[in-house]
Structure 1
């Protein structure tokens, strides 16, 4: 396994594996026995960066989530896992009532919610401190000052380490970080957005965000990473839920544009040359790229996990990288 540092404060920064394991469906569509086996194998391979959220996976049973955090908590206790494993979780997008969702009825990012949701996540995970806590989605109903101070209070108390933001406009992320800096509070240091080799359109709704494509990493975010080298991007859905390799998984609608066939063709060409799968090329391309990107990939079987883990040791040539980067 290879590792990368996230965070800048010596008291909170962590060395995490360059491939993060997504636990979104653990405890719901992926049963507990399989979830434990995947977690065990990931850790055995040197992985130490696991991602979840307080709302995973509410859509599987029309509830409010908590399945994934609960399973991770039981796994931690049964295996005697301590702070050697970095578990990131999120708040802000948990539905307030069963049968609703994060678009129409989210918990939000008020100071009260931040405190109560973080406490509930710590209880489900069985930890005294959350290693990394994200604002899952933005909340325009409260002031950013309140949100910044809410997260900052938890960090000051030592119940949260690193802070992150997901699925927010870059100007909102920058404003929140500026507010935190002005107040002498910790700010967002890890950004989590959807990012893969294929490029989406930004002028059409995404599958996850019907009123906009804020979940996608784009040129503005990449420019921000270049300007702020202390930030790290955790790239969710790098494999597009299997759409690269499965005929029964069509590409999302926002990838339906003239540039997609050429990028797919180059990916497949490099995969043949490297003796690797297309999925492995995508992950390797992200891991070894110019910018600090950590792919976040889920798995529902040990075979999928082994394929993903093998990507860590896949070294693309300079020519292959140049070709993958050059395709428009």
Structure 2
């Protein structure tokens, strides 16, 4: 698998695709989760993304499941030194059965506790990429960033990222870290795919923040900043009739983009999912897709995206589709 350095010139080298493990240990059982992880590493992948709250919203779960499953796989395969572990803090509910309204947040106390518990569940002494999962404007940035820097200095964390943060908050945090000599955010993780939502409507859950043109413009001038995209395949909506698009995608531009996407996929002998991933990887601001799979067969289709090459003319067709309609 093609590799790239993430988080700036001193950051680790990761495979082109990141494996998201949100359903592991819950809707995807442990045996299947292990098989998917095995196949991903066999294919050259090495960046595994989880969080300390996956999937608290599923009946009968606590939020421990994904990290704990990844931790058991790491121990079983003795694979810790072969992979990079990415996990998150800030969005785990503090009251069982509730949602983000009781999220732990990004205070010093919450971050230290979250990191300690994630390390325990993962069975490791370090987190390679640690994310502030959602914004917490109730806590001063100085407190959040200072605490994250402590974790880096202690060797518990490698590089830092922010997920579901607005561009202006990301820039403010990075400027503050530079001014204080702290470790700053060098990765951004947002929702992003080929189909574009209406920005005057909310996404399915209020915590989601979508990649905006403003963010891409910002990243062009920030060579140390890596963009990663979750929900890059819209939970199967490109190919599955039982996975409807959110209301924010209900506009004329969606139909136009889907039509061109399917045309390009047919011309290349690829699937729409593979074209979407190739489109993300090869943009003028390269984006690392975080891909999820519930079977090895789904993962194999995803890995096939690495063999799909878009010419400049084809990319322009995809980019221009739906612009006048939307």
Q: State whether structure 2 residue 95 is matched by structure 1 residue 101.
A: no
Residue 168 of structure 2 corresponds to residue 174 of structure 1? no
Matched, 1:129 2:123: no
Residues 268-277 or 288-297, more deviating: 288-297
Using the TM superposition, give the Cα deviation of residue 63 of structure 1 relative to its aligned residue in structure 2, in angstroms: 4.4
Return the TM-score normalized by structure 2: 0.97
The aligned residue for residue 140 of structure 2 is 143
Indicate which of 298, 301, 304 corresponds to 2:298: 304
Asked if the contact 2:8–2:223 (Cα under 8 Å) also holds between the matched residues in 1, the reply is: no
2:196 matches 1:202: no
- Taking the aligned partners of 1:82 and 1:98, their CA distance within structure 2 comes to 31
Determine the structure 1 residue equivalent to 2:77.
Answer: 79
What CA deviation, in whole Å up to 9, does each residue of 1:224-277 have, x standing for no partner? 111212111110011100111111111111111111111111101100100000
Task: Tell me how far apart the structure 2 counterparts of residues 60 and 180 of structure 1 sit (CA, whole Å).
Answer: 36
**2: distance between equivalents of 1:64 and 1:95?**
9
Alpha-carbon distance between aligned partners in 2 of 1:168 and 1:69, rounded to the nearest angstrom: 23
Do the aligned residues in 2 keep the contact of 1:90 with 1:135 (CA within 8 Å)? yes
Tell me if the contact between 2:238 and 2:272 (Cα under 8 Å) persists in the aligned partners. Answer: yes
Give how far 1:82 is off: 2.2
The counterpart of 2:66, out of the listed 55, 62, 68, is 68
CA apart distance, 1:83: 2.5
- Structure 2: how far apart are the matches of 1:155 and 1:79? 26
Structure 1 residue ranges (4+ consecutive) displaced by more than 3 angstroms after TM superposition: none
Q: Does 2:5 align with 1:5?
A: yes
Query: Distance between the aligned counterparts of 1:116 and 1:136, measured in 2?
Result: 15
Cross-structure match for 2:284: 290
**Separation in structure 1 between the aligned mates of residue 292 and residue 46 of structure 2, nearest angstrom:** 14
Where structure 2 has 5 or more consecutive residues not aligned to the other structure, the ranges are none
2:275 corresponds to which residue? 281
33 and 267 in structure 1: CA distance in 2 versus 1, 3 angstrom threshold: same
Equivalent in the alignment of 1:18? 16
Q: CA deviation at 1:169?
A: 1.1
Output the CA distance in 2 between the equivalents of 1:19 and 1:187. 23
Shift of 1:66: 1.1
Structure 1 residue runs without a partner (length 5+): none
Quick check: 1:63–1:99 contact (8 Å CA) kept in 2? no
Tell me the residue number matched to 2:253.
259
Q: How far, CA to CA, are the matches of 2:39 and 2:82 in structure 1? A: 15
Deviation at 1:61, TM superposition (A): 2.3
**Contact residue 16 and residue 49 of structure 1 kept, 8 A:** yes
Give the alignment's TM-score, normalised by structure 1.
0.96
d(CA) in 1 for partners of 2:81, 2:116: 18
Equivalent pair of 1:166/1:193 in contact (CA under 8 Å): yes
CA contact (8 A) 1:52 1:69 kept: yes
- Tell me how far 1:219 sits from its aligned partner: 0.8
Contact kept? 1:34, 1:301, Cα under 8 Å: yes
Q: Does structure 1 residue 111 correspond to structure 2 residue 105?
A: no
CA contact (8 A) 1:163 1:189 kept: yes
Q: CA deviation at 1:8?
A: 2.7
Q: CA deviation at 1:130?
A: 0.5
The separation in 2 between residues aligned to 1:186 and 1:78, in whole angstroms, is 33
**Is the counterpart of residue 89 in structure 1 residue 87 in structure 2?**
yes
After TM superposition, give the deviation of residue 62 of structure 1 in Å: 5.4
- Deviates most, 281-290 or 31-40: 281-290
CA distance in 1, matches of 2:242, 2:72: 34
Match of 1:54 in 2: 52
**1:266 match: secondary structure:** helix
